[in-house]
Amino acid sequence: MGVVEHFTTRDVRSASRVALWEQHNARALLSLQCRTLDDEPLDASEANVDLGSLSCARVTATPHVIERTAREISATETEGLALYFTLRGESFFYQRDGVHVLRPGTLLICDVNQPFRRGFAGGLEELVLRVPRRLVDHIGGDSPLGRGPVTMDFSSRPTARTAARTLAALVSAAMELPSLDVADQRSPHALGTAADVEPRVVDLLRSILSNDDLRGLAAVRSAAHSALGRRLRDPGLSVRHIADEIGVSERQLSRAFAESGTGPARVLLDLRLELADRTLRDPASTLASVGEVAAACGFSSHSHFTRVYRDRFGVTPARVRATRANER
Q: What local confidence, expressed as pLDDT, does residue 207 receive?
A: 77
DSSP string, 23-86: HHHHHHT---EEEEGGGPPP-EEEEEEEETTEEEEEEEESSEEEEE-HHHHHHS---EEEEEEE
CB 89 within 8 Å of CB 124: yes
Domain 273-327 has CATH 1.10.10.60: yes
The type of residue at 254 is S
In this predicted model, what pLDDT tens digit does every residue of 153-167 receive, in sequence order?
A: 888 776 667 788 888
Gap between the Cα atoms of 18 and 144, Å rounded: 30
CA 175 to chain centre: 8
Are the folds of 1-153 and 273-327 the same?
A: no
The dihedral of CA 18, 23, 28, 33: what is its sign?
A: positive
Q: What local confidence, expressed as pLDDT, does residue 184 receive?
A: 33
CB 68 within 8 Å of CB 128: no
Domain range list for the chain: 1-153, 175-261, 273-327
CB 47 within 8 Å of CB 60: no
Gap between the Cα atoms of 265 and 270, Å rounded: 9
Domain 1-153 has CATH 2.60.120.10: yes
CB 293 within 8 Å of CB 278: no
How crowded is the C-beta side of 155, counted as CA atoms within 13 Å? 13
Segments of the chain with pLDDT less than 50:
1, 177-192
Indicate whether this model's pTM tops 0.75: no
